[in-house]
Amino acid sequence: MQKRLRGFNKYISLFVGAMLLIFQFSFLNIAKASEVIAEEVSIRVEAPDKTIIEGKETGTTAYEVLEKVLNKNNINLEAEDSQYGKFIKGISGVNSGKFGGYDGWLYYIKNGTKVETSGVSIDSYKLNKGDNIVVYYGNFDTPYINTIDFNKEVIKENEPFEMIFSFKNFDYTLNKDIVNPIKDAKVTIGDKEYITNAEGKIVVVGLNKGEHQYSISGYKKDNIPTVIKDRGKFVIDNLNKPLIYFNDDNLVKKEEVKKPKDIKGQLELTLNYIKNNSSNSWAALSLDKYGIKSDEGYLKTWVEEIEKDGLSNLNAIDIESKIMGLTALGYSSYDFVGHNLVEELYNRKLSEFYNNEVAFGLLAYNYLGLKDEYKIGEKELIESLLSLKLSYKADDKNLVGWTWYGDKIDPDMTAVVISALAPYYRGREIEGIDNNKIKDSVDEAVKTLSLLQNENGDIIGQYGASSETDSFTIIALTSLGINPEGEMFTKEKGDLVSSFLAYSGDNGQFNHDDKSKNNYISTEEALRALISLDEFSKNGAYDYYKGSKDVKSLPSFKIKESEETKNDEIKKTEEIINDNLIKGDLEHGNLAQDNKGENKSPMAVLPKTGSTISFYYMIIVSFALIISGIKKIK
């Protein structure tokens, strides 16, 4: 019996190794066999000196829609099959190797706020809803815009600001991201043209509140372009740092027929989206209400910002959002890497605050439940807001409200001020403050918001209807205990809530207006409104900005070791394996780009499967077991 077992054991290593090897490649085949749904996407083809074609087509892969749009417009396409998929030799007479190097046809994908480079050939990339495909002629290091930043945390209308355009990719030799500024590129915003400097910057003249489109190009007649032509949009709302929407076409038509009022269902979808895409203080506030810890990666940026510019140079609104965000994340605002944000904010001169900074200053004061003595206190903030109230007659209507700047009532800011004054409207008393005066002012402002509704129920702001205006109004009304679906806010074709819900987009996201789809700022603010509506249905009134933490007992934030640092050794090992796989591909140009923009063998950029065991390690183990088994048989 023992002899038989010894004989059987000779084959165990061989069998296990073979099964592991079969499993690895079978898993890849299973992934390939997954169901793919055809999507309508936008596609644009960029030659070194011009746009060849752009349009919309439906397909399952990037190559399929490229082929369709070119065939439909009688544009020549030359492509051939290779072991790694389709290789594009030429489009419209522009052929690979035109400039004598490794130049050729490549592609990248834009989708909302993201720009990515796929690690697969163009015929293997499976389309996702909302994709913009940009097929371009260049080298593997030809820059395209995947990072746009601003020099201010909050861009305010009619004030100049800087935009910084750059190409971010991963340098495997240095093992870190490298940001390359885009210089000498032409940028167009509205009817103004700019040229980026050596740091990739332009100084933009003041713009109105609302949505703005940019385009950037660096065409060359007889060489690779300095940057691939691209365009996108950003929104100025006076409250947040603008997000960039990279898609060529962000247009979306608001539904004419109002959607059913499934507030709980929409809340679940939007909460899940923000949970997976949390990126700022306000998202942290909402997630904290459900016991969810927001991603706090942006705190490191805050530390760098304060170390670079100094706390005293931050705007009041920046500090207010940081104070509330830190508290929501469970950290002290009294000691943020050695800085007392609360003391810095409330010991400033209130006369230097913008109107919105006064309102958010009071919201932050109450969110933290402050009782300390500072130059700026509860009483001073309330008195300032009351003094900033606007009152005038327009179109035979008596209007009362607030604005962040100027002399025209802004419904967004009016709603924010109402939210800030809500605790006193509902009875909290402060020595020296006449609550009746607060109540009268707020009641008049609420009537004004109703007068500013259109027949669909939208609140019309200075720049038209938007989901953010509806969101802020819902938050304000529910803080007072007023029903946003009640008689005052119901018009001929809908009420405030039905109009608000009609802005819902894809996967829990919300649209900004009729032109901008799946806007992150809109989505985050919509989540605040959905939470307010849900709680209002339970309690009859809900103050979203009411805090509940003992802020004096919260711990200080400490910078943690990054996951990148922890995984350095693993990355180095993977690079050695990847380098061996790439060597044979360099001679033939059969390289793809990974999502960091680096040249990689198609084998080397296979997507992660979720396993903690590397695909390559499994291959090595498999062959080791097979060899061991063969030796035993011998």
Q: If you write DSSP's letter for every residue of 527-549 in order, what string do you get?
A: HHHHHHHHHHHHHS---TT---S
Can you give the pLDDT at residue 46?
A: 95
Torsion of CA 195, 200, 203, 206, to 10 degrees: 100
User: Is the model's pLDDT at 586 over the cut of 70?
Assistant: no
Torsion of CA 81, 85, 89, 94, to 10 degrees: 150
Residue 462 confidence class, pLDDT cut points 50, 70, 90:
confident
Can you give the pLDDT at residue 261?
A: 83
User: Is the model's pLDDT at 106 over the cut of 90?
Assistant: yes
Can you give the pLDDT at residue 79?
A: 93
Q: Which residues make Cβ contacts (< 8 Å) with residue 248, sequence separation at least 6?
A: 42, 44, 54, 110, 132, 230, 231, 232
User: Is the model's pLDDT at 342 over the cut of 90?
Assistant: yes
In terms of Cα–Cα distance, which of 490, 633, 587, 511 is closest to 13?
633
User: Is the model's pLDDT at 614 over the cut of 90?
Assistant: no
Can you give the pLDDT at residue 35?
A: 52
Can you give the pLDDT at residue 37?
A: 72
CA-to-CA dists, residue 472 to 271, 414, 569, angstroms: 17, 9, 48
Q: Are 151 and 162 in contact (CB under 8 A)?
A: yes
Tokens of 364: 């932050």
Can you give the pLDDT at residue 297?
A: 87
Higher pLDDT, 441 or 594: 441
| Least reliable range by pLDDT among 1-10, 301-310, 486-495, 590-599 | 590-599
Q: Are 191 and 21 in contact (CB under 8 A)?
A: no
Can you give the pLDDT at residue 516?
A: 86
Sign (positive or negative) of CA dihedral 462, 466, 470, 476: negative
Residue 74 confidence class, pLDDT cut points 50, 70, 90:
confident
Give the whole-angstrom CA distance, residue 187 versus residue 200: 10
pLDDT tens-digit profile of 391-445?
Answer: 999 888 999 999 988 999 999 999 999 999 999 999 999 999 999 999 999 999 9
Residue 260 confidence class, pLDDT cut points 50, 70, 90:
low
Can you give the pLDDT at residue 36?
A: 56
Can you give the pLDDT at residue 24?
A: 44
What's the burial of 313, exposed, middle or buried (CB within 10 Å: 0-12/13-18/19+)? exposed
Give the whole-angstrom CA distance, residue 138 versus residue 160: 34
Domains of the chain: 2-35+563-633 (no CATH), 37-140 (2.170.130.30), 145-250 (2.60.40), 263-553 (1.50.10.10)
**Which residue type is seen at 170?**
F
User: Is the model's pLDDT at 217 over the cut of 60?
Assistant: yes
Can you give the pLDDT at residue 395?
A: 84
| Least reliable range by pLDDT among 244-258, 452-466, 507-521, 545-559 | 244-258
Sign (positive or negative) of CA dihedral 562, 565, 568, 570: negative
Q: Which residues make Cβ contacts (< 8 Å) with residue 348, sequence separation at least 6?
A: 316, 375, 376
Can you give the pLDDT at residue 68?
A: 93
Residue 153 confidence class, pLDDT cut points 50, 70, 90:
confident
| Least reliable range by pLDDT among 88-92, 264-268, 482-486, 579-583 | 579-583
In terms of Cα–Cα distance, which of 269, 293, 62, 245 is closest to 145?
245
User: Is the model's pLDDT at 161 over the cut of 90?
Assistant: yes
Can you give the pLDDT at residue 364?
A: 97
Can you give the pLDDT at residue 271?
A: 96
- Span 489-505, mean pLDDT? 94
Count Cα atoms within 13 angstroms, Cβ side, for 476: 30
Tokens 């499976």 -> residue: 126
**Which residue type is seen at 171?**
D
| Mean of the per-residue pLDDT values of the chain | 83
Secondary structure of residue 338 in the 3-state scheme: coil
Give the whole-angstrom CA distance, residue 524 versus residue 508: 10
- Span 449-475, mean pLDDT? 94
Residue 560 confidence class, pLDDT cut points 50, 70, 90:
low
Can you give the pLDDT at residue 292?
A: 95
User: Is the model's pLDDT at 561 over the cut of 80?
Assistant: no
- Span 124-153, mean pLDDT? 92
Can you give the pLDDT at residue 250?
A: 53
Give the whole-angstrom CA distance, residue 181 versus residue 148: 10
Give the whole-angstrom CA distance, residue 179 versus residue 177: 7
In terms of Cα–Cα distance, which of 335, 285, 187 is closest to 549?
285
**Parallel, antiparallel, or unpaired: how do β-strands 592-593 and 599-600 relate?**
antiparallel
Report the share of the chain in percent with pLDDT over 90: 61
What's the burial of 156, exposed, middle or buried (CB within 10 Å: 0-12/13-18/19+)? buried
- Span 114-143, mean pLDDT? 91
Tokens of 68: 């369709």
| Least reliable range by pLDDT among 466-480, 560-574, 588-602, 615-629 | 588-602
Q: Which residues make Cβ contacts (< 8 Å) with residue 406, sequence separation at least 6?
A: none
Quote the crossing angle between the two packed helices 520-539 and 467-480, to the nearest 10°: 20
Convert 466-502 into a string of H (helix), E (strand) and C (coil). CHHHHHHHHHHHHHHCCCCCCHHHEECCEEHHHHHHC
Can you give the pLDDT at residue 624?
A: 54
